[in-house]
């Protein structure tokens, strides 16, 4: 005990309150009651109205039998109702399960069953996904349908349930407390893509979401004047916690039902957009849009989900955007690290600066930082060459996988979360991702980073995008093959493209094969699904190296 204060220092003080993002909306509804919180076409919602709707939905969910710790699933695009859910569901004491809108019916059923969702709220435009399994949802007691006039989609009677408007009518009640008893209680379940098996439910806590939102505010440079455009799916890591972040700072969130590059530019101009988030594929779409033009006002673009090439970073900066490159996983609430720009970087040549900005960088301020370790959990040398696995820990790493303690224990072996990503640490301390462990190519004992080869291909003026995977080779075990999408109207020969790589990389890294394709398979968040390309090439044969 400190004799001067009588405080033991063994726990929180008498004035302590648990951390929760719910406090963000409470504050902004009091501080900015008449300010526009949500914009969607002609529809405008003030902060006072935002908090009131969240309260009504919370009361209505309770009227449906939702209690503390119960799960409420949402299957909806980036519409205001999905944003309200980020506050309404935890305000009811429940846990939000935001489902990927591109999943098949059976995948949606599995997530609802695995999470134990008691209520499913679904956009009418996604009724074709739900209808085949609506009668087979083991734990869902009620289905609620959002009908969006902007979509012009009528509900399918086969889905049944009630309308969102009816849900709101059930939401009368006294104000609810914008607080929680336990900051380590779950606030949401976010399911992984499940490309190597059943998707896993990643548990986020109120504390982790609160802290990650503050990190988003700081590193993406949000202010009360921020106008954020939803080009990132809200279902993906709860939109990287950005919905909570913008509510905290009192900014405006512009909803966008589907990403269309032309519409993005219209909204940038009409709404005065200052911020947006997205994968490099989204940035490429924006930069290539017919209506692309130099920006009239500053635009902060925070990018992640796949390593961005220096080429796309340079193209967005040429339009006037400021790039914030972050890195993370579903298991880390989205962004965990940021490539902090150093004072001398703006003076560098554009290409050199873009290459530095393409690194994954250092831990964000709310994290414990990144480590790159070998199999013995010792840090690799900071030489920019020695490969190791990127590991993390701290408040912004998941509490675990829902109902899967064995997989959780394996993911946290050695006391750190194992990302499955391979990288290097540079002498300046910045980490650079080189590949997923399962994507790295081992050819004759030499490691080949697919990301490194892709970046070189991407730099060719005729190339729109590229993916490189391992293919079997009798002599070397495996060799790199490139799948390339060309820009519209562009033409390039195989030898020219291979020569372009050979001039910039060691000969053993040059792909033996280059196949031109119309498009590359992607996840809903813009990641290229290399496993599909790789499985096609291996034809059922077992790949005995790297996962």
Residue 240 domain-assigned?
no
Number of domains in the chain: 3
**R_g (Cα) of the chain, nearest Å:** 24
Residue 91 structure tokens: 């305000």
- 421, with CB counted inside 10 A (0-12, 13-18, 19+), is buried
Kindly state whether residues 350 and 488 are assigned to the same domain. Answer: no
Q: What number of residues does the chain have?
A: 547
> Per the domain annotation, does 346 fall within a domain?
yes
Q: What is the CATH number of the domain that holds 456?
A: 3.30.300.30
How far is residue 146's CA from residue 230's CA, in Å, rounded to a whole number?
A: 19
β-sheet bridge partners, residue 379: 373
Domain boundary among 407, 436, 465: 436
Contacts of 318 (CB under 8 A, 6+ apart): none
d(CA 444, CA 492): 30
Query: What residues contact residue 19 under an 8 Å CB cut-off, 6+ apart?
Result: 183, 206, 207, 210, 211
SS3 content of the chain, % helix, strand, coil (to 5): 35, 25, 45
Q: Which of 228, 237, 236 is nearest to 256 (CA)?
A: 228
- Specify if 16 maps to a domain: no
User: Where among 400, 419, 436 does a domain terminate?
Assistant: 436
Rounded Cα–Cα distance for residues 134 and 130 (Å): 6
Instruction: Read off the DSSP letter of residue 346.
Output: G
What is the reported pTM? 0.87
Spans in the chain with pLDDT lower than 50: 195-196, 545-547
Which of the listed residues 210, 227, 250 is the one where a domain comes to its end?
Answer: 210
> What phi, psi does 246 have (nearest 5°)?
-70, -35
Q: Are residues 515 and 532 in the same domain?
A: yes
pLDDT value at residue 279: 86
Please write the tens of the pLDDT for every residue from 473-531: 888 889 999 999 999 999 998 999 999 999 888 788 899 999 999 999 987 767 788 88
Q: Do 412 and 499 belong together in one domain?
A: no
Pairing of strands 299-303, 321-329: parallel
Does any domain span residue 9?
A: no
Q: What is the pLDDT of residue 2?
A: 56
pLDDT on residue 104? 86
Neighbours of 499 (CB within 10 A): 12
E strands in 63-197: 71-75, 95-98, 117-123, 142-146, 162-163, 186-191
pLDDT of residue 546: 40
Is the CB of residue 370 less than 8 Å from the CB of residue 392?
Answer: yes
Please state, in angstroms and rounded to a whole number, the distance separating the CA atoms of residues 100 and 234: 9
Order of all β-strands in the sheet with 142-146:
162-163, 142-146, 117-123, 71-75, 95-98, 186-191, 201-205, 400-401
User: Within a domain: residue 504?
Assistant: yes
> What is the structure's pLDDT at 545?
44
419, 318: one domain? yes
**Contact, 380 vs 425, CB < 8 A?**
yes
Same-domain check for residues 327 and 459: no
Residues 66 and 193 in one domain: yes
Q: Are residues 263 and 308 in the same domain?
A: yes
- Give me the long-range contacts of 313-321 (CB less than 8 A, separation at least 24): 313/354, 313/357, 313/358, 314/350, 314/351, 314/354, 315/283, 315/284, 315/287, 316/283, 316/286, 316/287, 317/350, 317/354, 319/287, 319/292, 319/293, 319/294, 319/295, 320/294, 320/295, 321/295
In a domain, 475, yes or no: yes
The pLDDT value recorded for residue 547 is 34
275 & 409 share domain: yes
Instruction: Examine residue 352 and state whether it is found in any structural domain, yes or no.
Output: yes
465 and 486 part of one domain: yes
In terms of domains, do 418 and 445 share one? no
Whether residue 79 is found in the same domain as residue 151 = yes
d(CA 409, CA 412): 5
Instruction: For residue 183, tell me if it sits in a domain.
Output: yes
Contact, 469 vs 521, CB < 8 A? no
pLDDT at 444: 72
Element (H, E) at 434: strand 431-436
Tokens linked to 429 = 């301390």
Domain CATH code at residue 48: 3.40.50.12780
- Residue that the structure tokens 């400021």 belong to: 322
Beta strand 463-473 pairing with 477-486: antiparallel
Range of the domain at 408: 259-436
Instruction: Pick the closest to residue 458 from 313, 262, 302 (CA basis).
Output: 313
Distance of CA 194 to the CA centre of its chain: 15
Q: What is the predicted pLDDT for the residue at 7?
A: 57
Query: What confidence score (pLDDT) does residue 9 get?
Result: 66
Residue 473: CB atoms within 10 A of its CB come to: 15
Question: Alpha-carbon distance 285 to 201, whole Å?
Answer: 30
Q: SS3 string of 125-164?
A: HHHHHHHHHHHHCCCCCEEEEECCCCCCCCCCCCCCCEEH
**Element counts in the chain: helices (H) and strands (E):** 17, 26
Q: Tens digits of per-residue pLDDT, 384-413? A: 999 999 999 999 999 999 999 999 999 999
Same domain, 266 and 128: no
């Amino acid at each position: 005990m400190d004799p001067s204060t009588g405080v033991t220092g063994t726990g929180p003080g008498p004035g302590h309150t648990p951390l929760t993002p719910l406090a963000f909306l409470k504050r902004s509804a009091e501080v900015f009651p008449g300010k526009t919180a949500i914009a969607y076409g002609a529809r405008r919602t003030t902060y006072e109205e935002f908090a009131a709707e969240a309260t009504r939905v919370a009361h209505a969910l309770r009227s449906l039998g939702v209690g503390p710790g119960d799960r409420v699933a949402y299957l909806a695009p980036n519409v205001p109702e999905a944003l309200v859910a980020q506050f309404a569901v935890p305000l009811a004491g429940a846990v939000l399960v935001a489902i990927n809108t591109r999943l098949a019916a059976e995948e949606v059923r599995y997530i609802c069953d695995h999470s134990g969702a008691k209520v499913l709220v679904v956009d009418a435009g996604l009724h074709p996904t739900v209808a085949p399994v609506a009668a087979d949802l083991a734990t869902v007691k009620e289905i609620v349908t959002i009908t969006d006039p902007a979509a012009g989609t009528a509900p399918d009677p086969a889905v049944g349930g009630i309308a969102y408007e009816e849900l709101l009518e059930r939401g009368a009640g006294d104000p609810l407390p914008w607080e929680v008893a336990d900051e380590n209680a779950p606030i949401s379940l976010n399911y992984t893509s499940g490309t190597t098996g059943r998707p896993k439910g990643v548990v986020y806590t109120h504390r982790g979401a609160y802290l990650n939102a503050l990190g988003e505010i700081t590193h993406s440079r949000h202010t009360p004047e921020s106008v954020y455009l939803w080009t990132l799916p809200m279902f993906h890591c709860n939109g990287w916690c950005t919905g909570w972040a913008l509510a905290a700072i009192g900014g405006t969130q512009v909803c966008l039902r589907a990403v269309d590059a032309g519409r993005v530019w219209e909204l940038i101009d009409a709404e005065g957009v200052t911020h947006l988030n997205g994968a490099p594929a989204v940035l490429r779409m924006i930069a290539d849009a017919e209506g692309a033009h130099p920006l009239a006002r500053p635009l902060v673009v925070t990018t992640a989900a796949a390593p961005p090439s220096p080429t796309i970073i340079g193209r967005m900066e040429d339009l006037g955007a400021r790039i914030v490159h972050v890195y993370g996983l579903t298991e880390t609430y989205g962004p965990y690290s940021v490539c902090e720009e150093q004072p001398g970087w703006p003076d560098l040549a554009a290409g050199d600066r873009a290459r530095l900005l393409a690194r994954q960088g250092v831990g964000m301020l709310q994290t414990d930082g990144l480590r790159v370790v070998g199999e013995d959990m010792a840090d690799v040398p900071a030489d920019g060459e020695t490969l190791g696995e990127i590991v993390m820990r701290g408040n912004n790493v998941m509490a675990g996988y829902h109902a899967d303690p064995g997989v959780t224990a394996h993911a946290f072996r050695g006391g750190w979360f194992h990302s499955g990503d391979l990288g290097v640490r540079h002498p300046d301390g910045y980490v650079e991702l080189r590949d997923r462990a399962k994507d790295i190519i081992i050819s004759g004992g030499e490691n080949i980073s697919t990301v490194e080869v892709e970046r070189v291909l991407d730099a060719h003026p005729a190339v729109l995008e590229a993916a490189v995977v391992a293919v079997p080779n009798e002599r070397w075990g495996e060799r790199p093959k490139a799948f390339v999408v060309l820009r519209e109207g562009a033409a390039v020969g195989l030898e020219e493209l291979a020569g372009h790589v050979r001039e910039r990389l060691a000969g053993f890294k040059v792909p033996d094969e280059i196949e031109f394709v119309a498009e590359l398979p992607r996840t809903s968040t813009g990641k290229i699904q290399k496993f599909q390309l790789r499985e096609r090439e291996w034809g059922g044969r077992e790949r005995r190296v790297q996962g």
